[in-house]
């Protein structure tokens, strides 16, 4: 196995400790899904205090890397016919993200049918000179990947690996279990409010990634519109 770049890892651990990472991923094919908008989101997030950026797509990573030195967690999402794995499924994706300017490359870290084994992707990330993050769903797999040299373990996939809808709250219990083992945990998934993000840090998370609540205008609008519609319906019910 190619060893992790210790100097780069040390720098990122210093920069990202107890910080906010903003995922600048607009709704697919929505009006905000343009490179220039993603660059603007990224710069606005940095102005607001984000210490890291999670960016999907090689061209988007390249464009963002040109305008900021803020560490980028790069991913490529694919919809595969023969596998449920969407996040950075191929070695070529890893190489392209590294060349585009990603400091960290994240990949799906779940035990499901996949085109490339997790440890093979981890090796490819280290060979490309990047730091690895695994988007995990369960305690055992996250622990195994950390023991194999994956620097960051994310709770990203918790609640998203089967046909059941995700729970309303973040998976605080999973974050806590990993923290108890000394992992560098990036709390991600359903951190829709500042209070939730703060709670993750209080539980010992290394960083928190927030996406929809900051950069997906459609989702935020829908939350408010649904809440208002519910209030109107309640008012209309005879007392």
CATH number of the structural domain spanning residue 86? 3.20.20.70
CA dist 5 and 164 (Å) reads 38
Backbone phi, psi, residue 22, to 5°: -105, 125
Task: Please give the DSSP secondary-structure letter assigned to residue 14.
Answer: H
The predicted pLDDT at position 162 comes to 81
Distances (CA, A) of 171 to 7, 47, 96, 110, 158: 31, 28, 31, 16, 7
Integer Cα distance of 12 and 105 in angstroms: 13
Q: Is 184 inside any structural domain? A: yes
Closest to 57 in 3D by CA, of 120, 104, 100, 22: 100
Q: Give the domain extent around 193.
A: 6-236
Strands (DSSP E) contained in the chain are 19-23, 52-56, 72-75, 104-109, 131-136, 152-154, 184-188, 207-210
Whether the pLDDT of residue 56 is over 70: the answer is yes
Residues in the chain: 239
Structural domain count of the chain? 1
Mean pLDDT across the stretch 87-103? 98
Q: Please, are residues 122 and 145 in contact by the beta-carbon 8 Å criterion? A: yes
Contacts of 74 (CB under 8 A, 6+ apart): 55, 56, 58, 61, 97, 98, 100, 101, 102, 103, 104, 105, 106
Per-residue pLDDT of 112-165, as tens digits, reads 999 999 999 999 999 999 999 999 999 999 999 999 999 999 999 999 998 666
Q: What is the pTM of this model?
A: 0.95
181 within some domain: yes
Distance CA 3, CA 191 (A): 32
Res 238: pLDDT: 61
- Residue 44 scores a pLDDT above 80: yes
Buried b (16+ CB within 10 A) or exposed e, 159-189: bbbeeeeeeeebbbebbebbbeeebbbbbbb
Mean pLDDT of 44-67: 98
Q: Partners of 19 in the beta sheet?
A: 207
First to last CA, the chain: 68
Q: Is residue 1 part of a domain?
A: no
Residue 83 placed within a domain: yes
């Amino acid at each position: 196995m190619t060893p992790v770049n210790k100097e780069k890892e040390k720098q990122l651990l210093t920069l990202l400790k107890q910080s906010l990472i903003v995922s600048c991923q607009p709704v697919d094919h929505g009006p905000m899904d343009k490179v220039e908008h993603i660059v603007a989101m990224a710069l606005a997030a940095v102005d607001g205090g984000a210490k890291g950026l999670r960016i999907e797509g090689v061209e988007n990573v390249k464009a963002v890397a040109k305008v900021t030195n803020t560490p980028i967690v790069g991913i490529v999402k694919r919809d595969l016919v023969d596998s449920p794995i969407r996040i950075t499924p191929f070695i070529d994706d890893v190489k392209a993200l590294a060349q585009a300017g990603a400091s960290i490359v994240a990949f799906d870290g779940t035990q499901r049918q996949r085109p490339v084994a997790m440890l093979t992707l981890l090796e490819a990330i280290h060979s490309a000179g990047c730091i690895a993050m695994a988007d995990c769903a369960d305690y055992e797999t996250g622990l195994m990947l950390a023991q194999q040299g994956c620097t960051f373990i994310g709770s990203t996939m918790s609640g998203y690996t089967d046909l059941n809808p995700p729970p309303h709250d973040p998976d605080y219990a999973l974050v806590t279990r990993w923290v108890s083992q000394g992992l560098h945990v990036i709390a991600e998934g359903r951190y829709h409010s500042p209070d939730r993000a703060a709670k993750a840090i209080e539980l010992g998370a290394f960083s928190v990634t927030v996406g929809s609540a900051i950069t997906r205008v459609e989702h935020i609008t829908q939350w408010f519109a649904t809440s208002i519609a519910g209030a109107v319906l309640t008012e209309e019910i005879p007392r």
